[in-house]
Structure 1
Amino acid sequence: MNGLTLAYIGDAYYELQIRDHLLNKGYTHVKQLHSKAIKYTSSIAQANIVQMMIDNNILLEDEINAYKRGRNNSTSGRKNVDGETYAKATGFESIIGYLYLEKNNRLDLIVNISINYIEKGDLQ
């Protein structure tokens, strides 16, 4: 599949995992859930997560390939986000989509690393 198709399914899977995580933490009000979820799912958060994974050599070669395939090189970005950040975010979603479709056992690991990174407040 092409990278943007991987990003499409990866976005949906990651969003569902974040919603599940927040429900398990005891959040139940929809407005609160939405505002908390943005912390994990925004383009900026996803770009920071994938950059941390690259910098720390967490990603395997096939995951890096999925990342590269999924970077949307839109020059305008999206929703007040610059093009580079948006490209990294779609690349992150592509990794998630790739692992999901491959039924790869690293999927949960990558999602958990992402959640822990956000919760530790390591965003740059």
Structure 2
Amino acid sequence: MNPIVLAYIGDAVFEVLVRQYLISQPTHKPHHLHRQATQFVSAKAQRMLLEKWQPHLTEQEADIVRRGRNAKSGSMPKNADPADYQQATALECLIGHLYYNKRIDRLRELMAIAFDES
């Protein structure tokens, strides 16, 4: 599947996983939830998360990340650094790949690392 398509669904899956994690925490004020969510879903935060995941990735997952990073999306957002955006796309591509291949347990393992629960 096209890496950009995987990143498209990966973006949505990542957002849901972050929101599920946040509502499992004790504070549920809407402003607080939104502020916390942006700490995970920005391009810069996703780049940093991908760096955190790198040592834990299998060879196949690292290949998916490379494909996602090298994919041409056609446009860059105005508020994101291009390098951060490429890495964020790579992370979303990996999430989309795991989701479409029904590797939910692996996705949960990586998200536990994201939330420092591993």
TM range (shorter): 0.7 to 0.9
TM-score of the aligned structures, taking structure 2 as reference length: 0.86
Question: How do residues 54-73 of structure 1 correspond to structure 2 at under 5 angstroms?
Answer: 54=54, 57-71=55-69, 72-73=71-72
| Stretches of structure 2 lacking an aligned partner (at least 5 in a row) | none
CA distance in 1, matches of 2:72, 2:50: 16
Give the CA deviation at 1:40. 1.0
* Equivalent-residue separation in structure 1 for 2:11 and 2:115 (angstroms): 14
Tell me the number of residue pairs that the alignment of Structure 1 and Structure 2 aligns.
Answer: 115
Contact 2:4 2:73 in 1 (8 A): no
Distance 1:3 1:70, change over 3 A: same
TM-score, normalization by structure 1 = 0.82
Aligned sequence identity (%): 36
In structure 1, what is the Cα distance between the partners aligned to 2:53 and 2:31? 30
- In the alignment, the residues of structure 2 paired with residue 2 and residue 116 of structure 1 have an alpha-carbon distance, to the nearest angstrom, of 31
Q: Is the 8 A contact 1:75 1:82 kept in 2?
A: no
* Matches of 1:45 and 1:73, distance apart in 2: 21
1:4·1:94 contact (CA, 8 Å) conserved in 2?
yes
Unaligned runs of 5+ in 1: 118-124
8 Å contact from structure 1 (residues 76, 82) kept in 2: no
Partner of 2:50: 50
| AA of the residue aligned to 1:16 | V
Give the drift of 1:107: 0.9
Task: Give the C-alpha shift of residue 30 in structure 1.
Answer: 2.2
Who is 1:101 aligned against?
Answer: 100
Partner residue of 2:39? 39
